[in-house]
Structure 1
């Protein structure tokens, strides 16, 4: 339990949230990777499987939120905070206009994932990408894949170690390093989604359905290095700069908001005090205030 002098902790993944996250991750891996294992007669087209992926993704995102709330006893304040952060992230994305991969929303998701924890971070990343696609007119067969990749990116920030021990400059350096590496990982995964449906490229960089997996992966590496490495470099550098420049202030603000929302408030019911039996009393201890109040039920 957090007292007045202790920093807010990220929301932990409970068993139900872990099951929901594992399920959506397995579906995402299958959605990204199945063309690499398909034969020549499979009729590859992510534009055809994208609606099915989107239909499966939305209820699973809701399941992650519900499971996280159920496991941690949170209320509507947590969902409201997710909505605010998703709106801010969606508003940040058009600022870079996709120029040279400059996307400022990435640093916000790194810091938010650190504070909110992996379960809510996954939902935040996915919902932010969905909202930004609506805002910028970027709706297309790639959108559910973007939602998954951004969810994984934010989830990774929530899984970083030492949330209660690493603070200050060391924490910022760790988050900046993760943001830099994660920016490349996001681009790598998203390029895999688009690469399998591109046609007419040089033989050494194009996808060939039915070819052995190692041969196709080697061609994909060539494709990524020649088409997207510089783009992802810009995204990674901007994430590092913004994290180091604004990270301390934003982390402090997010943790203060988390404490005020009392995400880890615990409610217990104790028997009434005294010699005569009476109605039980409810004792509530909030992480934000660190006090105990008794009231008849």
Structure 2
């Protein structure tokens, strides 16, 4: 596991709080607050990418990521960036999240967080998919890797079963988060699916659930199936390979003050 210093953990927590607010702002605004304007959300998002950079630099500068960890991050990010176009856009199939989950499981929540964001960034640069949706995708994928690193310690079939279940939950949660990112602007006004600024939270949640059922549930299920099958079929071999690399690279050694001097 790649261990992190306290400053890096706090940076991840800060970025996560900003990211959560960026996703859930439709449920938090009130009429006349200034945040119910469609031009406000992109401004919030513009702050996310610099925060991602701060997180990565903090982890590297403080010694949480040594040269070997950075090399592994680069390799896995490149592999994930290549894997994603193989399935993205085809009936909801996603061929990248299982790798983020497995790597986060082996190398820890901090590594999984950074890997999720860099993988989606690399994929966007590779396929020309850079746009206002990218910070949302990076944040959601980062949480997928973070959560995998926080799962309980299990081994054998119990671990694979847990990772399969987590892969399903993470796939559905990713879809819900991405829906939140564009739902207020996706449909016109005065429909049963439309976001209504300032409406009670319960009412807007009902509209959001209906929007999700109508527009994306099938894609989210496809992503969940892809995740679970990939983890079930190749998960044991990938976990074994990643752990073997971790042992040889001595990732399990916690950083010392001398490392960051």
Give TM-score, length-normalised by structure 2: 0.90
Residue of structure 2 equivalent to 1:235: 223
In structure 1, C-alpha distance between the alignment counterparts of 2:246 and 2:95, rounded to whole Å = 23
> What CA distance in whole angstroms lies between the structure 2 residues aligned with 1:64 and 1:34?
28
User: How many positions carry a matched residue from both structures?
Assistant: 252
1:178-197 per-position Cα deviation (integer Å, ceiling 9, x unaligned): 00110000000110011022
Equivalence for 1:44: 38
Measure, in 2, the Cα distance between the counterparts of 1:223 and 1:50.
23
2:151 equivalent to 1:160: yes
| 1:63 aligned residue | 58
Task: Spell out the pairing of 1:181-220 with structure 2 (5 A cutoff).
Answer: 181-200=169-188, 203-220=191-208
Provide the rounded CA distance (Å) in 2 between the counterparts of 1:89 and 1:207: 34
> C-alpha displacement at 1:264, in angstroms?
2.9
Task: Indicate the residue corresponding to 2:259 in structure 1.
Answer: none
**Compared with structure 1, are the counterparts of its residues 63 and 168 closer, same or farther at alpha carbon in structure 2 (3 Å cutoff)?**
same
Higher share in strand: 1
Q: Which has the higher helix share?
A: 2
| Matching of residue 18 in structure 1 with residue 9 in structure 2 | yes
* Equivalent position SS for 1:147: helix
3-state secondary structure, aligned to 1:220: helix
1:143-187 CA-to-partner distances (Å, cap 9, x unmatched) read 01110000001110000001xxx2122111111110011000000
Return the alpha-carbon distance in structure 2 between the equivalents of residues 95 and 202 of structure 1.
38
What is the CA-CA distance between 1:77 and the residue it aligns to? 0.6
The 1:93–1:50 alpha-carbon spacing in structure 2 relative to 1, beyond 3 Å, is same
Structure 1 SS opposite 2:91 = helix
Bigger radius of gyration: 1
> Contact conserved, 2:187 with 2:193, CA < 8 A, in 1?
no
C-alpha distance in structure 1 between counterparts of 2:22 and 2:255, whole Å: 41
Quote the offset at 1:267 in angstroms. 8.9
Q: Is the 8 A contact 1:35 1:44 kept in 2?
A: no
**Aligned match of 2:20:** 29
Choose 195-204 or 177-186, whichever is displaced more. Answer: 195-204
Q: What CA RMSD, in Å, does the superposition of the two structures yield over aligned residues?
A: 1.9
For 2:184 and 2:173, locate their aligned partners in 1 and report how far apart those are by CA, in whole Å. Answer: 17
- Checking the alignment, whether the CA contact within 8 Å between 2:4 and 2:255 is kept in structure 1 is no
| Unaligned 5+ runs, structure 1 | 1-9, 269-297
Question: Contact 1:13–1:118 at 8 Å: present in 2 too?
Answer: no
